Structures are given as C-alpha cells and as structure tokens.
C-alpha cells in the first residue's frame, strides 16, 4: 500500500511538473509574440526611414532645378555684359569725355574686385560642401558598420533561438523519461528551472539588442534631420545668390540710366560744338595757332583712346576668366551630383549583397540544423550505449568492493572478539606514501605504500573558504597533522606560500586508499584569474584521472553571502556536472549536543538550503577539534561510495574542463588574430589618409605662399602705376611724359605677367586639389573593394567547407538514382527486345508453313491459282511485318537516345541547381 501511495504521489508530482512546464511554455510563447511585435515595429521604422530618404531625394532634385535657374540667370548676365561692351565701344568715339571714361574704368575695376571676392566666397562654399560630403561618407561608413553589427546581433539572436528550441526539445524528452524514472524528478525539475532562467536571460539580452536597434534608428533620424538642416542652408545660400543677382541687375539698370544721361549730355555738347565750329570758321584766319594746338590735343586723345581700348581688352580677358570659373563651378556641381549617384548605387549594391548573404545564411543554418539533429541522434545513441556499459562495469565493481568490505568486517569482528573486553581498541591503519612532490601528471614519483589487495581507492578534493577548516578536516580524515608541516613538499612551486596552491596527501583509512587534495580559498581570496586557473589545473593534475568526490567544507555558522559565492564559483570552474560529485561537509569545533543536520538546515539561510539541494541533499557533520570515532569517518566514506555508485561516471573527469579551456583559448586566439588584422587595416587607412592630408596641406601651403608673393608684387606695381599717373599729370614736358609712359607700359606689362602667373598658380592648385581628391576616392574604393573581397573569400570558404560535403552527398545520391532509373529502363528495353524476337520467330514459323503450302500447291496443279493468291497475300503480310519490325527498331533506338539525353539533362540540371545553391 505504501508503494502504491508513493507511486500515486509521484504521479501527482509528475502532473504538477507537466502543468508547470505547460505554464512556462505559454510564457515563452507570449514572449515570442512580444518579440514579433517589436520586429514589426522595427520594420515600420525602416519604412519611415525609406520615405524620409525619398523626401531628401526630392529636395536634391529641387536644388538641381534651382541650379539650372542660376545658370540661366548667369547667361542673361553674360548677354547684358555684351550689351555693355557694345555701349562702351560707342563711348570710345567720344573724345571729350575722357574723365568720365576713366571713372567708368575704375568702377569696372571695383566690380572686378567684387566679383573676385564673390568667387573666393564661392570657392570657400565649395570647400565647405566637399567637407560636408566627406562627413557624409564617414557617416555612411559608420552606418555600414552599424548594419554589420546589427547583422551579427541578429545572427547571435538566431543562434540563441535555436539553442532555446533544442532546450525545449530536450525538456520534452526529459518529461517523457521522467515517467519511467520517478526517483530523478527533483533533479530534472531543477535543471528545467535553470534552463528557464537561461531563457529569461536570453530574452533580456534580446530586449537589450532591440533597445540598441531603437537607438540606431534614433541616430538615423538625427542624421536625416542634419541633412534637412544642410538642405535649408543650401536654400539660404541660393536665396542670397538670387539677392546678389538682383542687386547686380539693379546696378546694371543704374548704369543704363547713367548711359542715357551721358547720351543727352553728348548731344548737348555736339550742339555746342557745332556752334563753336561756326565761330571757328569765321575765325580760321585768326586762329592758326589754335588749330596747331588742337591737332596736338587730338593726338593725345588718340593715345588715351588706345589706352582705354587696352583696358577694355583686359576687361574682356577678365570676363573670360570669370566665365571659365563659372564653368569650373558647374563642373564641380556636376561632380557632386555624380558622387551622390555613385553613393546611391553603392547603397543599392550593399542592400543586394546583404539580401544574398541573408539567403545564404538561412540555407547554411538549415543545413547545419539538419546535421546537428543527425549528430544529436547519434550522440544520444552512443551516450545510451556508454551509460549501459558504465552501469554494468560499476555494478560489477561495486559487487567486488562490497564482497571485500564484508570480508574485512568479518576479520575485524573476529579480532575484536579474540582481544577481550579490557584490551585497548586497535589503532587505525593509516599510512602515507607521498613524502616527495608530485609530478606534473598528477602521480607521485615516490614509492607507493604497502596496501592490501582488498583496498578501495578514493580521490577527494577539499573546497571551501579560508575560515572553513579545510586543513583540519583533511587531518581528521587522514588521522594526521602533516598538511601544514609538509606544504612545501606537496606543492609544485616551492617558493610560494601554502595558502596559494593546492596540496595533496595519500593514506589508508578504514580499508580504503585515500588521496586528499586541499585547495586554497578560490571563492573570496585575493587571487587573480590567472592564478586561479593555474591552481585549478594543478588540482586537476593532483587528482588525476579525476576526483571521486568534491567535499565542500562549510562551517556551521558561515559568513553572509558565502554560499552564493560558492554556487557561482563552483559552476564557473567545474561546470554544472560537478554537483553530482559533491558532498557538503559541515565542520564544528565545539560540541553541538543533540543537534542534527536537519535542524542546522532549517535554521540556516535559503542560500544554504539551495546549495544542499544542488548537491542532492548530501551532507555530513564532522568535529574538527576532537578526534572523531572511526564510525564517523566510515559513515562519511560510505556516503561518498553511495554517491559514486549512484552517478553514471565513477569519477569526475577532467577532460571536460580541459576541453572547455582549450576551446576558450582557441577562441581567444582567433579573436586576437581578427583584432590584429582589423587594427592593421585601420592603421593602413589612417596612415594613407594622414599622408594624403599632409601632401594636400603642403601643396596648398606652397600655392598660398606663391599667391601671396604674386599679390604683393601686384600691389607694388599698382602703387607704382598710380604714382606714375600722378607724375604724368604734374609734368608737362613731352619728353618726360614719353619716358613716364614707357615706364608705365613696362610696369603694366609686368603686372599682366604677374596676373597670368597668379592665374596659372591658381589653376595648378585647383588641378592638384582635384587630383588629390580623385586619388583619395580611388584609394578608398580600392580599400573597400579589397575588404569586401576578403570578406567574400572568407564567406565563400566557410560556405564551401560546410556545403561541399552536402553537395557531394547530393551528387552521389542523384547519380545513384539516375543509374537506377537508367538500369530499369534498360531492363524494360531488353524485355521489349525479347518480345520482338518472339514475334520474329513466330513469323518465321508462319513462313515455313507458307513454304510447305507452296510445295504442296506446286504438286497440285489443280489449285495453282489459289496457291498463288495465298503466296501473294503471305508476301504482303511478310513485307508488312518486316516494315513493322524496322519501325519498331527505329522507335527503340529513338527511345534509347531520348532516355540517354534525359539522363544527361537531369544530371546537368541537378549539378547546376547544386552549384546555384552553393553560390
């Protein structure tokens, strides 16, 4: 009845556990729905970003239209300037308005200077635009990097979801097995709770990644707003340019008005000149001297007109230079448009490549999932077989050990009965064989102690804090106090202190050969991670091939937070599988009276209770101060043996820890190599950029120095010309004037040469800037192409490594299928050929019969006509049958050819599909 009740209780617990699992599955589904909703929200944000990009493109189109309008306005200005040139030619004919013309020339000079300033301002604006484009390129690069990080995060999320699905499948399998194994219900429920906690952690990480995605979306929105601000600035600049154009138009209108006034003045002057000519005709005889003076004045006027023509030519040349600069500006704008088009194309190419990579990754993930399922199935089968074998071996060993223990107990009882009541109790047989330091492989180089053949071997590892009493516990178990004295002989490094390295001793206790390894305080000591790793490796070597039990030494009154640190650190160092091999050893120095372990656990903290549950409720009380009885230590050893017999493995193997550490080192090494490669690439990019910047700055400095020199020389020449002109006005002698005019011509020629040189220097500067920009672009494109090529090569290599075996399998399967179909079709053809042969034999028999009939008809002359008719009929039949046979043969050959062609086409089609899947 009790068993039935226990079974019913177990069934109830199973049903409760199933309900809990269903509840947790429902929670997981709800969280998956929340994640899907967040993914939809992200997709909506992506659509909004695309709409904003379209708005930006429309704004750029509007800017291009405004640029066209500006070009049209520039052409109108050119036409207006041509009109002005024509009017200036008309003004050259007038001789009396020399001063007004000189004023106009000065005004034109001022206008040219203003235009030069405007051109300089435009050049600065273009430089700012180029800088903004560079900033945009850097922002685009950052966006690409963020997209790559986002893809890596998504890949991690997919991997975690796969792990979660695998964990769910394992949960279902464990629930099915729990029906058969009622005793392991508590452990499986605890493992499920851990897995759920891990799932919650994964979901939290996914939420963090979604928050990061939202932050990236906000960053993109900020970038779009910055672009809008830049577009508004461009619009303001265009409006300012329009205002300047309007002001220039007003100036031109004022000039036209002034020209009209000057025309009126000229007409008035002409009328006055006509009056004067009438008076001069009357006074020609009287004023011969005046005529001579007038001729001289005319000569001077002609010379001044020549000078004015030269100035007009200079103005025309400067206008041509302005036109060339405007064309250069137009070319720069066209280049900017081409840059934007190239950037858009690169964005499209990147999006296409990302889609292709995602498709390939999905295919790879499907392939890897299939392979993982197969591998898991094989591993499950192998693990089951190994478990059965190990269970059989363990049972055999346990039977042998129990037989030996029974024999030893019988002997001890016989000795006790013979010794009498007053005799002293026998001393415990404890020997020590480790008087020399151990080897790096975990074995002692000294001679082994004399151990009886019926001795059982146990390897124990003492873990705990500094105040837990590990050393005293080890001394009480072994019945000695040599742990502290011989520390230097049992550590691998003799120079270090005893509290920083693991120590090991061996001895024989209660008919068992024990190896006890004492470890330092790994939980709250001041050791670094490297020292702890080294000490863990040392502990594993000393307890090779693996410890049977971990004795977690805990004082009766532990400090706050010690149990939690033990939980975390044990799983970090040895993994979750170590709890199956651990036993808690409560140590106390004073008498506890009649208090038991259950009372200690009830009065203890929740963390201590969790720790005991982790260890499977395995614990033992041990008195450190007084030497305990042999029964206490034998009970402890019996508990350890029960734990070992209940586990699947006889001892905790260090291969798992070593493999995990080796894998971690390999991962760290790969990460370091990848970081070094990325750092090298970044350094090369930086060095190239710095070199380009230095070269550009040096060339610009040189050009600016040359320009400053030429401008200084031009200023000096201008000063000299003004001085010479002032001297010309002051001096009246003709010879001196001629010399001064020659000097003025020389200086004007020098000034023109210097201006030409300055223009050439500026053109060189512009060319060098363009060349440097083109080189920079080419180098950046080369770097991008090389980086993308490396990524493609690595991706293709990884894809080929993963897909090639699968491809080979598919190809072999398709070949086998095609060969089977081909063989089947050949068999069918052979059958048809056999049928045709039978038909031919039947026809030949008919022919024989006809021939026999023919001989009979020859003998019988009465039935000649009938025999001839039958012969003709039979001949026709034979001809028909022969033609049918030929047709059948041709059809068979055609069918064979068609089958061969179909087989070839199928093979080629399968091969192309496989290669397309690979690509």
Written as six digits, the tokens of 741 are 């005019």
User: In Å, what is the CA distance from 518 to each residue of 494, 506, 538, 551?
Assistant: 16, 12, 11, 10
- Residue 63 near residue 231 (C-beta atoms within 8 A): yes
Cα–chain center distance at 915 = 26
Residues 6+ positions from 614 with CB-CB distance below 8 Å = 190, 567, 579, 582
Q: What global pTM score does this model have?
A: 0.29
State yes or no: pLDDT of 235 exceeds 50: yes
Cα–chain center distance at 224 = 24
DSSP state of 590: S
Residues 6+ positions from 215 with CB-CB distance below 8 Å = none
User: In Å, what is the CA distance from 843 to each residue of 270, 849, 875?
Assistant: 135, 10, 12
Q: In this predicted model, what pLDDT tens digit does every residue of 41-82 receive, in sequence order? A: 778 877 887 787 787 778 777 777 777 777 777 777 777 777
* Helix/strand/coil for 588: strand
- Residue 178 near residue 188 (C-beta atoms within 8 A): yes
Q: Give CA–CA dist 201/913, Å, rounded.
A: 41
- CA-nearest of 800, 787, 786 to 919 is 800
- CA-nearest of 340, 338, 21 to 179 is 21
The number of residues making up the chain comes to: 919
Q: In this predicted model, what pLDDT tens digit does every residue of 124-155 receive, in sequence order? A: 777 777 677 777 777 777 777 777 777 777 77
Q: In this predicted model, what pLDDT tens digit does every residue of 607-624 receive, in sequence order? A: 888 888 888 888 888 877
Range from 26-35, 241-250, 277-286, 724-733 carrying the lowest mean pLDDT: 724-733
Q: In this predicted model, what pLDDT tens digit does every residue of 526-568 receive, in sequence order? A: 677 777 777 877 787 788 777 888 898 888 776 666 777 777 7
Beta bridge partners of 555: 587
Residues 6+ positions from 465 with CB-CB distance below 8 Å = 521, 523, 524, 558, 559, 562
Q: Give CA–CA dist 5/664, Å, rounded.
A: 50
State yes or no: pLDDT of 246 exceeds 70: yes
Query: Mean pLDDT of all residues in the chain?
Result: 70
Q: Give CA–CA dist 811/808, Å, rounded.
A: 5
Residue 885 — pLDDT band, cuts 50, 70, 90? low
- What is the dotted CATH code of the domain comprising 427-653? 3.40.50.300
Beta strands 582-588 and 619-623 are: parallel
Give pLDDT, residue 601: 76
* Helix/strand/coil for 621: strand
Written as six digits, the tokens of 356 are 């292709």
* 871 vs 732, more confident: 871
Q: Give CA–CA dist 822/828, Å, rounded.
A: 10
SS3 labels along 122-163: HHHHHHHHHHHHHHHHHHHHHHHHHHHHHHHHHHHHHHHHHH
State yes or no: pLDDT of 103 exceeds 50: yes
Q: Please report where in the chains the tokens 């390894």 appear, as a residue.
A: 517
Give pLDDT, residue 491: 32
Written as six digits, the tokens of 69 are 């309008």
3-state helix, strand, coil in the chain (%, to 5): 80, 5, 15
- Residue 637 near residue 545 (C-beta atoms within 8 A): no
Residue 666 — pLDDT band, cuts 50, 70, 90? low
Beta bridge partners of 503: 518
Residues 6+ positions from 216 with CB-CB distance below 8 Å = 146, 150
Write out the DSSP string of 445-477: SSPPP---TTPEEEEEEEEE-TTS-HHHHHHHH
Phi, psi dihedrals of residue 552, rounded to the nearest 5°: -85, 100
End-to-end C-alpha distance for the chain, whole angstroms? 68
Residue 484 — pLDDT band, cuts 50, 70, 90? very low
Compute the average pLDDT of residues 847-865: 62
- CA-nearest of 510, 501, 570 to 539 is 501
Q: Give CA–CA dist 223/49, Å, rounded.
A: 11
Give pLDDT, residue 330: 76
* 446 vs 305, more confident: 305
Rounded to 5 degrees, what angle do the CA atoms 267, 272, 275 make? 130
Give pLDDT, residue 627: 62
* 627 vs 723, more confident: 723
Residues 6+ positions from 670 with CB-CB distance below 8 Å = none
Q: Give CA–CA dist 24/27, Å, rounded.
A: 5
Q: Where are the domains of the chain?
A: 427-653, 802-918
Give pLDDT, residue 172: 61
């Amino acid at each position: 009845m009790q068993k039935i009740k226990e079974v019913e209780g177990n069934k109830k617990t199973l049903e409760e556990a199933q309900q809990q699992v269903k509840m947790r599955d429902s929670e997981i589904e709800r969280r998956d729905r929340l994640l899907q909703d967040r993914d939809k929200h992200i997709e909506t944000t992506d659509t909004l970003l695309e709409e904003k990009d379209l708005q930006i493109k429309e704004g750029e189109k509007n800017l291009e239209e405004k640029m066209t309008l500006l070009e049209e306005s520039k052409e109108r200005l050119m036409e207006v300037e041509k009109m002005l040139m024509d009017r200036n030619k008309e003004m050259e004919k007038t001789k009396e308005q020399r001063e007004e013309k000189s004023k106009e020339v000065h005004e034109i000079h001022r206008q040219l200077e203003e235009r030069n300033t405007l051109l300089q301002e435009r050049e600065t604006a273009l430089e700012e635009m180029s800088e903004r484009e560079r900033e945009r390129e850097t922002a685009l690069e950052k966006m690409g990097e963020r997209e790559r990080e986002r893809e890596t995060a998504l890949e991690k999320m997919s991997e975690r979801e796969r792990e979660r699905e695998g964990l769910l499948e394992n949960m279902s399998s464990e629930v099915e097995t729990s029906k058969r194994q009622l005793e392991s219900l508590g452990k499986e429920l605890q493992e499920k709770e851990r897995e759920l906690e891990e799932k919650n952690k994964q979901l939290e990480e996914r939420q963090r990644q979604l928050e990061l995605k939202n932050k990236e979306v906000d960053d993109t929105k900020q970038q779009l707003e910055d672009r809008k601000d830049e577009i508004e600035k461009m619009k303001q600049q265009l409006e300012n340019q329009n205002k300047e154009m309007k002001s220039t138009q007003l100036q031109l209108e004022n000039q036209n008005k002034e020209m009209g006034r000057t025309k009126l003045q000229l007409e008035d002057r002409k009328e006055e000149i006509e009056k004067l000519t009438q008076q001069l005709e009357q006074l020609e005889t009287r004023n011969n001297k005046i005529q001579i003076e007038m001729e001289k004045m005319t000569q001077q006027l002609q010379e001044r007109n020549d000078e004015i023509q030269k100035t007009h030519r200079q103005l025309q040349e400067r206008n041509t230079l302005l036109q060339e600069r405007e064309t250069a500006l137009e070319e720069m704008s066209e280049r900017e448009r081409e840059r934007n088009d190239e950037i858009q194309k690169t964005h499209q190419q990147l999006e296409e490549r990302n889609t292709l990579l995602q498709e390939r990754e999905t295919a790879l993930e499907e392939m890897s999932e299939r392979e993982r399922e197969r591998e898991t199935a094989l591993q499950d089968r192998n693990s089951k077989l190994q478990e059965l074998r190990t269970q059989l071996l363990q049972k055999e060993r346990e039977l042998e050990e129990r037989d030996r223990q029974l024999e030893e107990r019988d002997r001890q009882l016989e000795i006790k009965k013979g010794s009498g009541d007053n005799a002293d109790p026998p001393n415990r047989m404890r020997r020590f064989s480790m008087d020399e330091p151990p080897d790096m492989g975990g074995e002692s180089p000294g001679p082994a102690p004399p151990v009886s053949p019926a001795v059982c071997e146990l390897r124990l590892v003492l873990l705990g804090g500094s105040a837990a009493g590990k050393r005293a516990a080890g001394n009480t178990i072994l019945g000695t106090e040599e742990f502290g004295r011989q520390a230097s002989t049992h550590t691998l490094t003799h120079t270090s202190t005893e509290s920083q390295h693991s120590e090991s001793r061996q001895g024989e206790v209660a008919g068992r050969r024990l190896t006890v390894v004492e470890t330092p305080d790994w939980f709250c000591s001041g050791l670094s991670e490297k020292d702890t790793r080294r000490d863990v490796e040392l502990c594993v070597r000393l307890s090779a091939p693996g410890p049977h039990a971990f004795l977690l030494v805990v004082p009766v009154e532990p400090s706050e937070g010690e149990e939690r640190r033990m939980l975390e650190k044990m799983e970090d160092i040895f993994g979750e599988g170590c709890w199956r091999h651990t036993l808690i050893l409560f140590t106390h120095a004073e008498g506890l009276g009649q208090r038991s372990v259950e009372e200690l656990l009830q009065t203890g903290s929740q963390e201590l209770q969790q720790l005991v549950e982790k260890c499977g409720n395995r614990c033992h009380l041990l008195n450190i101060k007084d030497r305990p009885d042999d029964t206490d230590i034998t009970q402890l050893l019996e508990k350890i043996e029960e734990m070992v017999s209940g586990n699947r493995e006889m001892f905790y193997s260090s291969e798992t820890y070593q493999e995990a550490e080796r894998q971690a080192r390999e991962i760290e090494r790969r990460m370091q190599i990848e970081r070094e490669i990325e750092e090298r690439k970044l350094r090369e990019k930086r060095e190239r950029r710095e070199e380009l910047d230095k070269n550009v700055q040096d060339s610009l400095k040189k050009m600016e120095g040359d320009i400053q020199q030429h401008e200084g020389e031009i200023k000096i020449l201008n000063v000299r010309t003004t001085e010479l002109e002032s001297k010309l006005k002051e001096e009246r002698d003709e010879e001196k004037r001629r010399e001064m005019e020659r000097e003025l011509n020389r200086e004007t020629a020098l000034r023109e040469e210097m201006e030409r040189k300055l223009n050439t220097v500026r053109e060189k500067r512009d060319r060098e800037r363009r060349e440097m920009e083109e080189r920079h672009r080419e180098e950046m494109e080369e770097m991008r192409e090389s980086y993308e090529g490396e990524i493609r090569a690595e991706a293709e290599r990884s894809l080929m490594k993963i897909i090639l075996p699968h491809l080979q399998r598919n190809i072999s399967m398709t070949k086998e299928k095609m060969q089977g179909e081909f063989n089947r079709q050949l068999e069918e053809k052979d059958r048809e050929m056999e049928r045709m042969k039978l038909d031919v034999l039947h026809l030949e028999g008919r022919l024989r019969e006809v021939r026999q009939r023919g001989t009979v008809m020859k003998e019988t002359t009465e039935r000649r006509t009938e025999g001839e008719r039958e012969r003709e009929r039979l001949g026709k039949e034979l001809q028909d049958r022969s033609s049918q046979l030929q047709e059948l043969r041709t059809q068979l050959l055609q069918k064979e050819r068609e089958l061969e062609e179909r087989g070839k086409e199928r093979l080629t089609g399968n091969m192309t599909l496989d290669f397309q899947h690979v690509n």
